[in-house]
Amino acid sequence: MENLEALKELAARAAVEYVKDGYVVGLGTGSTARYVVLALGQLVKAGLRIKGVPTSRETAELARQQGIPLIDQDNAWIIDVAIDGADQVDPSFNLIKGGGGALLKEKIVAASAKQFIVMVDHTKRVPVLGGAFPLPIEVIPFGWGSTAREIEALTKSRVVFRERNGASFKTEAGNLIVDVHIDRIDQPRDLEISLNQIPGIVETGLFVNRTDILIVGTPQGVQTEHAQRI
């Protein structure tokens, strides 16, 4: 059986090569992003000067342990490069993210970055988003049931309220997550726009037209592709 962890690490190490001295770096969340933080930690110990903008408490804690200085408070960053994982990537480099529930901060950081690098193992590439991986959507707790009903009506798909250890899953912003089981997302941009019209939705896990560079860990090595953002 192939070792996906090794492929994630391979992709992460390739992504870190885009980080230059003096950069402000957006640090993603999840198991692939973890390898980025570890690799950057080694480089910082060797003298690289960077500042990180973490997309979750988990990433912030790991970055601190690795000695990476963080910008937590200043919220008008200019981020040179943001590096993050994804749950699915389509042929146009659109993504589903939010498996770890950090999609809101991840999207804010990606949107503030001059360059957004996505790293995945090859199993995350799909011909069309949806299907095996549900679309996470962050909703505010007030009226979340009505919001979920609106999402269900729009997508004609099953909406599942996310729980963890028998309790509702709370995001770092204090919101809830619903996972929408959509068979195919043929028009991700249109779906994102329509979802954003529903009151109560804070953010969706659709990352449309945001990827600049896709780095894929495969059994044959690393593949790097440059996206044309429209």
Q: Which residues are catalytic?
A: 106
204 touches 94 (CB < 8 A): no
Q: In the set 26, 30, 52, 134, which binds ligand 5RP (CB under 6 A)?
A: 30
Give dist(CA 106, CA 77) in Å, integer. 14
CB of 163 to ligand 5RP, least distance (A): 16
Q: Is 87 in the site for ligand 5RP (CB under 6 A)?
A: yes
Give dist(CA 67, CA 53) in Å, integer. 13
211 touches 95 (CB < 8 A): yes
Nearer to ligand 5RP, 49 or 57 (CB): 57
Helix (H) or strand (E) holding 124: none
Kindly give the residue spans of alpha helices, DSSP state H, lying in 27-162.
31-45, 57-65, 103-111, 144-155
User: Which of these segments, 14-22, 42-50, 94-102, 143-151, binds ligand 5RP (CB under 6 A)?
Assistant: 94-102
Q: In the set 26, 54, 101, 130, which binds ligand 5RP (CB under 6 A)?
A: 101
User: Which of these segments, 25-33, 75-83, 137-145, 208-216, binds ligand 5RP (CB under 6 A)?
Assistant: 25-33
CB of 98 to ligand 5RP, least distance (A): 5
* Residues near 220 by beta carbon (within 8 Å), at least 6 away in sequence: none
Q: Is 155 in the site for ligand 5RP (CB under 6 A)?
A: no
**What would the two tokens of residue 162 be?**
């996310």
Nearer to ligand 5RP, 57 or 199 (CB): 57
Query: Which positions touch ligand 5RP (CB under 6 A)?
Result: 28-32, 84-87, 97-103, 106
